[in-house]
Structure 1
Amino acid sequence: MSAAARWAVVVVVLAVAGAVALWPRSPEPAPREAIPTRTRPTVDLDAARGRAALPPCPQNAPGPPPLRGLTATCLGDGRPVDVASAVTGPAVVNFWATWCVPCQEELKVLDAYAREPGAVPVVPVLVESEEADGLELLAKLGVRLPSVADPADGVRKAVRVPRTLPVSYVVGADGSLTQVTDPVVFTSVEQVRGVVG
């Protein structure tokens, strides 16, 4: 390449760089205003507890080994409760959520069972739901079982509960946990009796 050609290339490169440097730019965008987030109004949990009228959670000892040392919130009084001591066997533990429609029907069946003479304790464990929503739903359903809320999902992870809900377990007198698979969802008191034995 001749010297003149090289100089021509340099001139073209400098001309392009100058044009890019002088090209008008759009002004800096204005900072975006924060998008307001919808916040849920503060719920008076004491009032919600009053409407639900749940009994306090049982405190026995020592309970199923996988649940020992796990703390949940007793929906009846809002206090922390050792989950293992709340479900000393024989008992039925039921995992449910407010968005789960089959859970609602099953809770009513479990509540009816628990009111029968000789029934073993039934302890529902609320997961994937706010305490206030759980209390409101239990009040609406007329379910008065001692219940706990597991907002951190620690109880469900310890038991290795499947993601599908509802799920029930029978707690044996020896502290063993046996998942109820037949039926998957209780639809009658007789079914609960048959599983509990």
Structure 2
Amino acid sequence: MSAGLRWAVVALVLVVAGAVALWPRASDDPVGAGPPSRTAPDLGPLRDRAGLPPCAGEPGGPEVLRGLAVTCLGDGGQVDLAGALPGRALVNFWATWCVPCKEELKVLDAYSREPGAVPVLAVLVASKEGDGLELLAKLGVRLPAVHDAADVVRGAVRVPPTLPVSYLVGEDGSLTEVAEPTVFTSVEQVRGVVG
């Protein structure tokens, strides 16, 4: 193949590529508009299967948590986290990939079903909302739960990087990290911490 013929083939390829790039499209998206937008997955069936309660929404709660919007896993609505904690409570931070979190969630769920138990709120972090709903359904855990997708709660509370971690909310709205045990393995341990 001669050099002239090679250049003719290259020129033809470039003309065809240019024509394809400029050819009008049938879609409504103009050329160069970027990738098509993705709609959020429908989590309704997962929410139904998980059967979680809706989150409370009362004024008050810990001052450090006021104004922090999170997603209630029970109904998918946005809730001010402080409003979900109107009095004494136990707040547990967990993730779907955290192995000890799975056992601890079951313990916390069992504790929460006891008469006189203080409210327990599970805060899903560093995980997808759908994955959290799926895991809670699989474990049979029915705790009120929220999803901290933007890590605003972890940042405000300065949650350590290791999970799980729990905080006791006092009547005065104070937050105290539960240092011992690092992971709840029995209902008795939870009772001992909350008093």
TM-score in terms of structure 2 length: 0.79
Q: Aligned runs of 1:1-197 on 2, under 5 Å?
A: 43-197=41-195
Quote the sequence identity (%).
72
Moved over 3 A (4+): none
TM-score in terms of structure 1 length: 0.78
Question: Which whole-Å deviations, capped at 9, do the CAs of 1:127-170 have from their partners, x for residues lacking one?
Answer: 00000000000000000011000000000100000000000000
**Counterpart residue type for residue 49 of structure 1:** R
**Counterpart residue type for residue 190 of structure 2:** V
* Deviation at residue 88 of structure 1 after TM alignment: 2.3
Question: Which whole-Å deviations, capped at 9, do the CAs of 1:34-91 have from their partners, x for residues lacking one?
Answer: xxxxxxx974300110000000001222100100010000000000000001022200
Unaligned runs of 5+ in 1: 1-26, 28-40
Q: State how many pairs are aligned.
A: 161
Unaligned runs of 5+ in 2: 1-9, 11-38
SS at 2:93 equivalent:
strand
Give the aligned CA root-mean-square deviation in angstroms: 1.9
Question: Which whole-Å deviations, capped at 9, do the CAs of 1:107-146 have from their partners, x for residues lacking one?
Answer: 0000000000000000000000000000000000000011
Partners of 1:192 and 1:60 in 2: how far apart? 25
Q: Is the 8 A contact 1:88 1:171 kept in 2?
A: no
